[in-house]
Amino acid sequence: MTRDLTKLAKALVTQNYFRFENLTYLQPDRLAMGAPTSSILSEFYLQHLESHKIYSLLLNHKVEGYFRYADDTLIIYNEDNTNI
């Protein structure tokens, strides 16, 4: 099942077509802006990063606040306690 999901995600990322001023473009890598699947895939990736990498960094560097909405992030820290 993991292999199938990986193949599906790869197909979604590599087959990005969009139109601008009556011309069709192919975006061969990255997530296409405005594509319905882009927000879902980016959310999966950001949650993975938060749980596997960012959480330990926040604890190790004594970060006081970490807030995220979609792909916007606000980090609050005290310069006296941490040097990021």
**pLDDT tens for each residue of 33-48:** 777 778 888 888 899 9
Q: Are 74 and 65 in contact (CB under 8 A)?
A: yes
Q: What pTM did the predictor assign?
A: 0.65
> What does DSSP assign to residue 83?
-
Task: Please determine, for residue 69, whether its predicted confidence score (pLDDT) is greater than 80.
Answer: yes
From CA 73, how far away is CA 46, in angstroms rounded?
11
Task: Please determine, for residue 72, whether its predicted confidence score (pLDDT) is greater than 70.
Answer: yes
Inter-CA distances, 16 with 8, 12, 40, 59, Å:
13, 7, 15, 38
Question: pLDDT confidence of 49, banded at 50, 70, 90?
Answer: very high
